[in-house]
Amino acid sequence: MRYDWNFSVLAPYAYAFFRGTLLTIALSVLSFVIGTAAGTLIGSWKPSGVAERVFYLFNDTVRALPPLVLLFLVYFFPVRQLLGVEPLSAFWSSVVAFSIAQAAYSVDLTRAALDQVPRNSILAGLSIGLTRADLWRFVVLPDLVRQVLPAQIAFFIGIIRLSNLASIIGCQEVVFVTRQVSSQAFRSFEPWILVAAIYVALVLPVTWASRLIEKSKWLKRRS
């Protein structure tokens, strides 16, 4: 038994793979940054009563949805009929959907972490007359970041891997490219080896960075 390896058929598509990879990176980074920023802001806001319950129902609902379903809901949302504006491209629909999912996770993460910020530190910050903004900047936020960073990096890796769902609605990220190449080049295995290598190359540095950060003196919570 033998298999005729032939990676040379992929050579003409190098640029397509390159563009697809860039799109994957853009999709992941944008969704992560937007989602994390929104989720952290929302998580720091403390609604009460009915507002809190409604908000949590929404948040839990979003988290219950499979990412693909969420993506379709965003992509097929009748924006023209309901909002009177042009629908988003496949790329931006994906960014919106993944950002919503990331925001929902970040809200919970932020809330849990805020509860863990030592009350004594907050009192100390108040006692030296810090303004609310300074209290956040010097006491709350550094502690929050230290707590959520490992989990957020895991979410980021999750988004990189999940971003290929965007290919289903026609966003030409790297898996979309791979599917096209594998049908055009009449080679179905080699393109997938290549794309696997690309994902590994994208994710491994993030994993290593996260290990470094976890070990770093800076991230240590001394209490």
Partner 1 sequence: MAALIAKGLRKAFSDTQVIKDLALELQSGEVLALIGRSGSGKSTLLRLLALLERADGGDAWLGQEQYLSEGIPTSAPFRFRRRIGFVFQDHNLLPNFTVLENCTLGPIRSNHIEKREAEGDAETILKALGVADKLRDYPSSLSGGEAQRVAIARALLMRPQVLLLDEVTSALDPESIEAVIASILKIKSLSKTDNLSILVVTHILRFAESFATRIAVLDDGRIIESLPANCFAAEAHSSVARSFIERDLRGWTDSK
Closer Cβ to partner 1, 103 or 135, answer by number: 135
Residue 160 binds to partner 1 (criterion: CB under 8 A): no
Q: Closest separation between CB of residue 145 and partner 1, Å?
A: 11
Q: Closest separation between CB of residue 150 and partner 1, Å?
A: 16
Residue 199 binds to partner 1 (criterion: CB under 8 A): no
Token output for 183: 């049908």
Closer Cβ to partner 1, 138 or 192, answer by number: 138
Question: CA-to-CA distance for 93 and 103, rounded, in angstroms?
Answer: 15
Residue 221 binds to partner 1 (criterion: CB under 8 A): yes
Identify which range of 72-80, 136-144, 181-189, 190-198 contacts partner 1 by CB under 8 A. Answer: 136-144
Residues 6+ apart with CB under 8 A from 36: 102, 103, 106, 152, 155
Residue 2 binds to partner 1 (criterion: CB under 8 A): no
Q: Closest separation between CB of residue 220 and partner 1, Å?
A: 8
Identify which range of 30-38, 71-79, 118-126, 201-209 contacts partner 1 by CB under 8 A. Answer: 118-126
Cβ–Cβ < 8 Å for 152, 36: yes
Q: Closest separation between CB of residue 132 and partner 1, Å?
A: 8
Buried/exposed code over 39-62 (b: 16+ C-beta within 10 A; e: otherwise): bbebbbeeeeeeeeeeeeeebeeb
Q: Which of 29, 33, 92, 121 binds partner 1 (CB under 8 A)?
A: 121
Closer Cβ to partner 1, 145 or 185, answer by number: 145
Closer Cβ to partner 1, 42 or 141, answer by number: 141
H helix runs in the chain, sequence order? 14-44, 49-64, 67-75, 79-83, 90-116, 119-127, 132-135, 141-162, 174-184, 190-215
Q: Look-up: residue for tokens 């959520």?
A: 148
Q: Which of 125, 162, 166, 187 binds partner 1 (CB under 8 A)?
A: 125
Cβ–Cβ < 8 Å for 122, 136: no
Closer Cβ to partner 1, 104 or 139, answer by number: 139
Question: CA-to-CA distance for 167 and 174, rounded, in angstroms?
Answer: 8
Cβ–Cβ < 8 Å for 148, 140: no
Q: Closest separation between CB of residue 137 and partner 1, Å?
A: 9
**CA diameter of the chain:** 77
Contact residues toward partner 1 (CB under 8 A) are: 118, 120-121, 123-132, 134, 138-139, 142-143, 146, 221-223
